[in-house]
Structure 1
Amino acid sequence: MTSTAHSRRPAPALSIVSPQVLSRESGASLVEQIVRSIESRIDDKLLRSGARMPSIREFAESHQVSRFTVVEAYDRLVAKGYLESRRGSGFFVRERAPMTAAGKPRAVDSAPQQLDVVWLVRNMFRQYPTQNSPGSGLLPAEWLDGELVANGLRAVSRQHQSLLLNYGNPQGSPQLRQQLQLKLAELEIAATPEQFVTTAGVTQALDIIARHFTLPGDTIFVDDPAWFLMFGSFAAMGTKVIGIPRLADGPDIDKLAELAALHKPKLYVINSVLHNPTSTSLSAAKAFQILKIAEQHDFTIVEDDIYCDLHPGAAVQPATRIAALDQLNRVIYLGGFSKTLAANLRVGFIATSPDMAKRLADRKMLSTLTTSDIGERVIYKILSEGHYRKHADRLRGKLDAVRDKTVRQLERIGLEIDIGAPAGIFLWVDARCDTNVLTEKAMEQGYLLAPGSLFSPSQLPSTRMRVNVANMQDSGLLRFLEREIGKVASRA
């Protein structure tokens, strides 16, 4: 017979923060890291109101930090309204009423937070350690060349102060646009400086183009799977977003032709080279067929080539850009440097016909006037001095060094990789389970995954997920995946 004392024993304390989350090399203190991690779990409803926190002693021992650190972290969380202290019982997650803009509490939404595009983007900006973020789209900071960027900033700071204090050119830095002309010439795309418009990354470029070409109710085609952020952005404009199934060598051409005849899209946004999330590239045959269908049904192709510099070149691996075939008549070409230089350098560009460049520059002025001339001057400095090419070579070498190892590790623990890509950052893997559920479990352990449902306009549950090969070097992450995938296999 169970004793009363035993039946009233409090439930075991929850595992709140994975030890791998805490980094003594991080710029943030251990207290700040603990507070931030617990806040995010409460905000995302991974910790429910009333849940008992580990005792100060338990937390300190399990995470190998001092009790003073835990006391200060818990005190901060109490002061911020995340926890409450119950004398003699410990610390508990406090029921928090979300605040309206007027500062008045509103009803608490008891439903768990849905995994959607905004969820992933928000968590990407919570600064998880790189090794804990296989769902991120960025390379590890230690792979990038901070000194290269710093030298560019120092050089720009020594220029005449008037250049630093005024607006930039609405169409973009003339020097940078001249340099971009040379860059595209290497890809066999002919463009004059007047055909470029600089932007705050490819994200703004897509926004400008979609607002120029579409009205509410119009249709935009995207690949399926594809880069998730544009789905929500386009839908917020009132457009209909339709996915075209992506195969290993490009889109399903029969489906593209069928849907184009049915929906008469205004735009088709496509990654031709190192497609996100599969890292596959477009074949020459598919590129010609896409251009032919676009001409037949009169829609514009938007070619997003943000991963351009991570491809080793057509001489090493086949890769066809539609803009090279079309020469910027029906194709609008996009590029940028955030993936290879620094995410904080939001410098991208649009290359198009001269007349369209003027129209898109006007559209840009209506929303942001100009983009950062300082950032554009830094990019110009790096490109014009010849250092960027060697830097891109080093990044490709580092990716090549970890890609095969990562593939072997993932296959060993039961993940299936049926779409092999010889270059790029990503793998598109099949976990053979609902990756939304897997992602929620990973969050509890301090790991950020990117479930496949987010990469389709339908947002339906998927067994797929995107894996960043550069961020898969943490042994704890591999053990977590092996354990969870093993559970799936044992039930099969």
Structure 2
Amino acid sequence: MTSTAKPNNAASASNTEPPRPLLSRETGGSLIAQIVQLVTARIDDKLLRTGARMPSIRQFSDQHKVSRFTVVEAYDRLVAGGLLESRRGSGFYVRDRTPMLAPRAQRTNTARQPVDVVWLVRNMFRQLPPQKMPGVGLLPNEWLDADLVANALRAVSRQNLPLQYGNPQGFLPLRQQLQLKLAELEISATPDQFVTTLGVTQALDLVARHYIQPGDTIFVDDPAWFLMFGSFAMLGAKVVGIPRLPDGPDIAQLAELAALHRPKLFVINSVLHNPTSTSLSAAKAFQVLKIAEQYDFMIVEDDIYCDMHPGTTVQPATRIAALDQLNRVIYLGGFSKTLAANLRVGFIATSPEIAKHLCDRKMLTTLTTTEITERVVYRILSEGHYRKHADRLRNKLDAVRDKTVRQMERIGIKINISTPAGMFVWTDVGCDSNALTERAMEQGYLLAPGSLFSPNQLPSTNMRFNVAAMADPGILPFLEREIGQS
């Protein structure tokens, strides 16, 4: 009988490629990254279960023919990623990932939240596309110079950076650079008159906490930047609005209310006021200073939009600090609007005595600010790149402002005050701007209703628009439709 031929298993096996090693030195990827990927995949595929003990560093090293340093680095990354846990004297174990993969269910509050300051700030951080947030006071990312910041950051990283706390008053070379910057505005200050802060927000908080006791009165522009209202109220202060006119505050109202309330502070945007983009005239600046002297209150001059102003040839702009030279005026500035919001570098310029007190208060709350970011800003300012960058931003704003204003007027939005500079337009939409804001959010647009910009928070038909954030093709048709139906 002829036997049936059987496959030659030996031959077949000899023709089969050997299994690929788990780790490869020829893929281009680091061995550390390969180990992390390998262990992660085995955990995800349930081949390594929660509580399983990993091979020791020596065992893994011998098994896979890699150095023990490589295994240590890989295990450390897995621990940092929440995949493994290290038990002293015992080894490494697969960690329970259930809390991370399945967050505890929370009850959803289905009640409609009111459109207030907290609502607007919370929605600012929802990471909507910038062109869908005309109510936010930031320039679009593509307008800013990421390379300028990145190059400065790389240059700073190559320096011998101190890893201890910095100077409580701020990085000295930056304060010296700020001295030159203010000199261009005809404000004389020495480096010991500056205190760096985490943006103008912290600067305002430090000043208010230094001067205000519960029951004291703070004057603000009306309308004005909304975030400070709640901050001042939390200190127990009474916040009183001074009507803002195209060239500055209503002087008659300021004098009358100062006699009545005897305020401790008057917080004012002198240049490119938020939300109207108007600037203080020289006459109004002088009158404000005289009233402050008469009724003995300090002026806090918030000049965060300083570098968006083109100069006096286009629109008059006077800093009260230039008239007063930091005796009764506390001057605030920063770079979040023009460089990067997350650098959070601001500053206070004031008398040496007040600067010392504010520095002490800063140390008691935050110790110091971050010297690395202050070094980055110093690098940009000192190398001369910032001036050209600010010029480009102003040119971009000029290119979109007139076009945006004409489009708004065409669909029935009234421009309350027309200004030739700045990012904001203060408008009258002819309907309840809170209700319009709610309907806009349903369509994915974030607007800023006028009620938020007054310390009274009363219903308003006014609305602030950021002309740099009106690029979305749907925003104007939406506004036209909604305003036409109101």
Partner of 1:211, secondary structure, is: helix
User: Partner of 2:148 in structure 1?
Assistant: 148
Cα deviations by residue, 1:64-90 (Å, 9 ceiling, x for unpaired): xxxxxxxxxxxxxx97688xxxxxxxx
Residue number in structure 2 paired with 1:139: 139
Alignment of 1:58-457 (within 5 A): 97=107, 111-161=111-161, 163=162, 165-457=163-455
> Secondary structure at the residue paired with 2:465?
strand
- Cα distance in 1, alignment partners of residues 204 and 107 from structure 2: 37
Summarize deviations over 1:397-426 as a string: whole Å, max 9, x none. Answer: 000000000000000011000300110000
Cα distance between partner residues in 2 of 1:402 and 1:265: 40
Which deviates more, 340-349 or 310-319?
310-319
Q: Deviations over 1:268-306 (max 9, x none)?
A: 000000000000000111111100000000000000000
Return the alpha-carbon distance in structure 2 between the equivalents of residues 483 and 258 of structure 1. 43
Deviation of the 1:179 alpha carbon: 0.1
What's the secondary structure of 2:415's corresponding residue? coil
**Percent of aligned pairs sharing the same letter:** 78
Q: Which letter does structure 2 place at the counterpart of 1:146?
A: A
The alpha carbon displacement at 1:441 in A equals 0.2
SS of residue in 2 equivalent to 1:432: coil
TM-score, reference length from structure 1: 0.77
Partner SS state of residue 344, structure 1? helix
Distance of 1:487 and 1:133 partners within structure 2: 22
Deviations 1:225-245 (A, max 9, x none): 000000000001111111001
477, 480, 483: which is aligned to 1:482? 480
Q: State which drifts further: 312-321 or 221-230.
A: 312-321
Deviations 1:345-369 (A, max 9, x none): 1000000001111110001001000
1:93 corresponding residue in structure 2: none
Cα offset for 1:199? Answer: 0.2
Partner Cα distance (1:299, 1:173) in 2: 30
Match of 1:471 in 2: 469
Q: Which deviations, in whole Å up to 9, do the C-alpha atoms of 1:426-449 show, x marking residues without a partner?
A: 000100100000000000000000
SS of corresponding position for 1:461: coil
Matches of 2:240 and 2:111, distance apart in 1: 28
Q: What is the count of residue pairs matched by the alignment?
A: 386
CA distance in 2: counterparts of 1:159 and 1:167, whole angstroms = 16
Contact 2:199–2:346 (Cα < 8 Å) also in 1: yes
Per the TM alignment, residue 112 of structure 1 is displaced from its structure 2 partner at its CA by 2.3
1:174-207 CA-to-partner distances (Å, cap 9, x unmatched) read 0000000000000000000010000000000000
Higher-Rg structure is: 2
Could you tell me how far 1:316 is from its partner in structure 2?
A: 3.2
Q: Secondary structure at the match of 2:332?
A: strand
Distance 1:418 1:374 in 2: 42
Q: Distance in 2 between matches of 1:400 and 1:112?
A: 38
Q: Which amino acid aligns with 2:179?
A: Q
* Partner-residue secondary structure (3-state), 1:457: coil
Opposite residue 237 of structure 1, the aligned amino acid is L
Q: CA deviation at 1:472?
A: 0.8
Separation in structure 1 between the aligned mates of residue 314 and residue 426 of structure 2, nearest angstrom: 22
> Which digits, 9 at most, give the CA deviation of each residue in 1:313-352, with x for residues without a partner?
1233211110000000000000000000000110000000
- In the aligned structure 2, how far is the partner of 1:313 from the partner of 1:176? 24
Change (3 A) 1:441 1:79: farther
Paired with 1:480 and 1:270, the residues of 2 have a C-alpha distance of 34
Q: Secondary structure at the match of 2:427?
A: strand
Moved more, 314-323 or 184-193: 314-323
Structure 1: how far apart are the matches of 2:456 and 2:155?
47
- Report the Cα distance in structure 2 between the residues aligned to 1:244 and 1:179, rounded to whole angstroms: 34
Q: 1:440 to 1:295 in 2, by over 3 A?
A: same
Aligned to 1:20: none
1:476/1:385 Cα in 2 relative to 1: closer, same or farther (>3 Å)? same
Q: What CA distance in whole angstroms lies between the structure 1 residues aligned with 2:349 and 2:155?
A: 27
Shift >4 Å, 4+ stretches: 78-82
CA contact (8 A) 2:168 2:368 kept: yes
Please report the RMSD computed on the Cα atoms of aligned residues, expressed in angstroms.
1.3
TM-score norm. by structure 2 comes to: 0.78
Instruction: State the secondary structure of the residue aligned to 1:479.
Output: helix
Aligned mates of 1:251, 1:343 — CA distance in 2:
28
Contact 2:314 2:420 survives alignment (8 Å): no
